């Protein structure tokens, strides 16, 4: 969600149109970093990962809502990295809890819950970014 908001906001902040694609591509790579970091979190308790990632995503989102371009880019990268890290850790926990014969239901329920969360979060993020 944050990348969609930044796609509209970065040109207004002075990113030239020719650089918007590469900048968004680099921000998108943040998720790949989160996937790699997930390999290192195996010994951490899931609750700690959720607290750390949730705090980091919130911090990154607030940084991305500022008017200082380096903070916006760093915040977008931080939020993207930790969001994907938490997503992978959550998927691992859920897959360990649910037998393989019921995983299709798990994916459907997970997608539904994500949609419900985004119904509330998207307007809030939009309002935050329209104020900045």
Per-residue pLDDT of the chain (132 residues; tens, 9 = 90+): 888 889 989 999 999 999 999 999 999 999 999 999 999 998 899 999 999 999 999 999 999 999 999 999 999 999 999 999 999 999 889 888 888 888 888 888 888 998 999 899 889 988 888 886
Query: What is d(CA 36, CA 54) in angstroms, rounded to the nearest whole number?
Result: 18
pLDDT for the residue numbered 31: 93
Q: Mapped to the 3 state alphabet, what secondary structure does 105-120 carry? A: HHHHHHHHHHHHHHHH
pTM of the model: 0.85
pLDDT for the residue numbered 132: 64
pLDDT for the residue numbered 11: 94
- How far separated are the first and last CA of the chain, in Å rounded? 16
pLDDT for the residue numbered 81: 97
């Amino acid at each position: 969600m944050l990348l969609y908001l930044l796609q509209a906001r970065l040109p207004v902040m002075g990113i030239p149109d020719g650089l918007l694609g590469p900048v968004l591509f680099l921000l998108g790579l943040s998720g790949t970093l989160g996937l790699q970091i997930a390999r290192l979190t195996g010994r951490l308790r899931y609750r700690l990962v959720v607290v750390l990632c949730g705090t980091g995503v919130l911090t990154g989102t607030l940084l991305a809502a500022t008017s200082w371009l380096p903070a916006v880019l760093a915040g977008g990268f931080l939020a993207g990295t930790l969001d994907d890290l938490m997503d992978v850790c959550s998927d691992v926990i859920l897959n360990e809890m649910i037998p393989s014969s019921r995983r299709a239901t798990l994916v459907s329920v997970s997608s539904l819950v994500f949609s419900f969360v985004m119904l509330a979060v998207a307007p809030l993020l939009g309002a935050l970014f329209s104020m900045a």
